[in-house]
Chain A
Amino acid sequence: MTQSPTLSRRSATSASSLPRKSRQRGVDARAGYSFLLPWLLGFIVLTLGPMVSSLYLSFTNYNLFDPPKWIGLDNYATMFQDERFMQSVGVTVGYVVFGTPLKLAAALAVAMLLNSARMGQGFYRSAFYAPSLIGASVSIAIVWKAMFGDSGPVDQGLSFFGINLGGWVGNPTMTMPMFILLTVWQFGAPMVIFLAGLKQIPADLYEAASMDGAGPVRKFFNITWPMLSPVVFFNLLMETIHAFQIFSSAYIISNGEGGPAGSTLFYTLYLYLRGFSDFRMGYASAMAWLLLIVVGIITLIIFRTSKSWVHYSGDAK
């Protein structure tokens, strides 16, 4: 993660011969933009356009059929008096706060296990990564539902140890642990990134630490963690944003209702139900924008705090 020397040299030379180079740069830019054009068009038509129109809709009362009626900030104001909305916020925050750190911890632990040289390591790496490849799919949610249902494998396995919880799917207090287990199990993506990060840490640092008599715990906190902190930061950011967007597994497991007793009413699921089940598209758009703003703020906070705990190898410290 060091500055590329070629890059700085090139910018220095281009500054010395400006007129000719700038014409050249204009051609380059045009070529660049024309290569970008297909993507840019897609972005404007498929992403930016809908975003702008959803921003407009969020200030209206829109039922999908009649023309939208402008109502100003009403949608945003009524949200905070809507008990189901508050419930969906509670469910989602609980999921993000408990699910994300646990998932990252699992990913890091497995990455460290897979980092050492061992027979068949390639096989293990693929095997541990597999769940996240299929994890987002509908089929896994269905399997999960069957596993945690009445007399499913989990219920039977636990009762073998004398723990009788019954099915988790129908029990409002057990659905959240079930969803957190599902996300923790899908640690593959951050695990691969952690693994790449671990490979970057120079082995001589560990050797030197061993010479000085440092144990594994000491090595982890004084070498691995600080050296890995940019990767931890990246994973934390991505996984937090992902966690806020949980939808398909919640939709499948609760039959698209957010039950039992609203315990799986995740934010995006409620947004969807508001829009497509209750025909309150304006309200749903307002919810989408609020989510965007809140995720933006949380990202900003994580960035701000990162200065105090993320170490880049180039930094003088």
Chain B
Amino acid sequence: MINRRHFITTVAVGTASAAALAACGTGSSSSGETGSAEKPVTINYTWWGNDDRAERTRKAIALFESKNADIKVNGNFTDFAGYWQKRATEAAGGGLPDVMQWDLSYLRDYGQRNQLLDLSTVKINTDAFEKSLLPSGQIKGKTFGIPTSTNAFAVYYDPAKLASLGITEPDGSWTYKEFNEFLVSVGSKSNGALFGSTDYTGVWWMFNVWLRQNNIEAFTSEGKLGFSKDDLKKWWNLTADLRGTPAIISEERVTQLAPKSPFGSNVTATEVTWDNFMAGYLGDSGAKELKLVPVPSDDKDNLGLFLKPSMLMVASAKTKYKDAAARFIDFMVNDPEVGQIFKTSRGVPASKTQRDGTTFEGTDKVVVDYETSIAQYLKDAPEPPIVGFGTLETSFKRVASDLNYGKLDINGAADAWFKEAEDLIKQNA
């Protein structure tokens, strides 16, 4: 039975608690909505990568949830190419996931367009980071990304394969001519059973390394191209004599093998790419051991190498759970146990706390040792590159593939890429 007094009390208590809740809401609005152990908030986290990374990420998420009962993390992943198309669609609809793994190439595209949260406004501990690395995640005084780890360019090889061909292992001090000769010898000694490598001139970041070796800036401070068409032609000419020979795998085969890499499929002896691909290559190829040496350079003192944030952690500008997002990012970049889970598969941990808390053995030690060995050649980490950098990379790869198919000659390829690049830069200006 409802009597009058009872009714009034109920209403009064109800109103008071509603007011208190509302006060709570305003009080915490700067850090977004928060959860409790009974009623946890759920944040979405997305990353790119293969099954190996998915497995490790799931472990890290489980660990985070066990330590933070008030937050649930809903994970989701795709491959690299599809990743950016998805993010573009979500950003257009205003629904980016709360926390995302990010690539340097796309930081400016989204950061400059107000899609990412300024992480300096939330609580993330960056004391254990190299001070020279943090600017890679910053644009105009705002911190959009925190590096999880670093990676550097390297030449991978499988010592067992070289031994079976009777080729001595390289020490990594080689010119482009010597590197090419090495690739030719792999092709000829294996009678075409093993190719030397994929066409390394089709690798956009390797082109950037080569530009640094020649003291050419890839982009001017105004965001224009810093190199000329002749530079690009010179670059593509480096392997002109090798295309179509066993020194370089044909583009037909590369396409057939995709999305697996030729090196991971055991059809090439070497690969020029980022050193944190180690775990993926080991998994794909089943090789016992893979080694890393520096990239070729015609200038012995300038290898053009640099440590890049292999990936960054970012949050959506529109996230309702700033506090939860910040705690998850802090955990992913700093926690030593996360380091133990990922080892070097994300790169070498950027935070000293995480790095020191991780034991590196076997192939993981190879990666860490490699980054230590090149320390004397390293230049500063690059700033976030220009808007559209990721698109330039995609088109570079495609044009280089057309070149290998013989659809374009070097002049035509350089013309085609420059036209697209200039068009893109004009669009984004």
Interface residues of A (CB under 8 A from B): 61, 63-66, 83, 149-150, 166-167, 169-172, 255-257, 259-262, 272, 276-281
Contacts and interface: CB of A to CB of B under 8 A. Distances in A.
A65 B91 contact: yes
Contact of A63 (B84, B253, B405, B428): B428
Interface stretch (B35-43, B254-262, B296-304): B254-262
Contacts of B92: 64-65, 281
Contacts of A65: 91-92, 110, 113-115
A259 B256 CA distance: 11
Contacts of A256: 81-82, 85
A297 B91 CA distance: 35
Contact of B407 (A61, A166, A172, A272): A172
A256 B86 CA distance: 12
B407 A261 contact: yes
B394 A277 contact: yes
| CB-based closest 10 A-B pairs | A170-B255, A170-B252, A65-B113, A261-B405, A170-B256, A64-B92, A276-B85, A150-B256, A261-B407, A260-B255
A260 B252 CA distance: 8
A279 B407 contact: no
B391 A278 contact: yes
Contact of B255 (A61, A63, A169, A277): A169
Interface residues of B, number: 34
A83 B416 contact: yes
B253 A262 contact: no
B409 interface: no
A4 B42 CA distance: 61
Interface of B is mostly: helix
B401 interface: yes
Nearest to B88: A276
A25 to B, nearest CB: 44
Contacts of A171: 252
B379 interface: no
B248 to A, nearest CB: 15
B255 A259 contact: yes
Contacts of A83: 416
B65 interface: no
B402 interface: yes
Interface in B366-410: 388, 391, 394, 398, 401-402, 405, 407
Contact of B401 (A150, A169, A259, A278): A259
A166 B253 CA distance: 10
A173 B427 CA distance: 34
A65 B401 CA distance: 31
A280 B115 contact: no
26 contacts: A64-B91, A64-B92, A65-B114, A65-B115, A66-B113, A150-B256, A167-B252, A170-B253, A172-B407, A255-B259, A256-B81, A256-B85, A260-B252, A260-B255, A260-B405, A261-B251, A261-B401, A262-B407, A276-B88, A276-B89, A277-B84, A278-B424, A279-B109, A279-B391, A280-B427, A281-B92
Given A170-B252, A262-B402, 14 more contacts: A65-B92, A65-B115, A83-B416, A166-B252, A169-B255, A170-B251, A260-B252, A260-B405, A261-B401, A261-B402, A262-B407, A272-B85, A277-B84, A277-B85
Contacts of B85: 256, 272, 276-277
Contacts of B401: 259-261
Contacts of B257: 150
Interface in B90-115: 91-92, 109-110, 113-115
Contacts of A255: 81, 258-259
Nearest to B89: A276
Interface in B208-265: 251-259
A223 B234 CA distance: 68
Given A64-B88, A256-B82, A260-B251, A167 B256 contact: yes
B417 to A, nearest CB: 12
Contacts of B91: 64-65
A76 B427 CA distance: 15
B371 to A, nearest CB: 31
A127 B263 CA distance: 42
Contacts of B427: 61, 63, 280
A169 B256 contact: yes
B256 A149 contact: yes
A255 B81 CA distance: 9
Contact of B405 (A172, A257, A276, A280): A172
B82 to A, nearest CB: 6
Contact of B88 (A61, A167, A170, A279): A279
A279 B109 CA distance: 10
Nearest to A81: B419
B111 to A, nearest CB: 11
Nearest to A281: B92
Among B251, B256, B401, find the residue whose CB has the most chain A CB atoms closer than 10 A: B256
Contact of A257 (B89, B253, B398): B398
- Point out which of A66, A171, A276 has the most chain B C-beta atoms below 10 A from its C-beta: A276
B137 to A, nearest CB: 19
B93 to A, nearest CB: 9
A150 B428 CA distance: 41
Nearest to A83: B416
B319 to A, nearest CB: 17
A197 B279 CA distance: 60
Contacts of A261: 251, 401-402, 405, 407
Contacts of A276: 85, 88-89
B8 to A, nearest CB: 45
A281 B85 CA distance: 12
Contacts of A170: 251-256
A281 B89 CA distance: 11
A256 B402 CA distance: 16
Contacts of B115: 65
A257 B259 CA distance: 12
A177 B372 CA distance: 52
Contacts of B416: 83
A139 B218 CA distance: 42
A61 B88 CA distance: 16
B168 to A, nearest CB: 31
A256 B83 CA distance: 12
Nearest to B394: A277
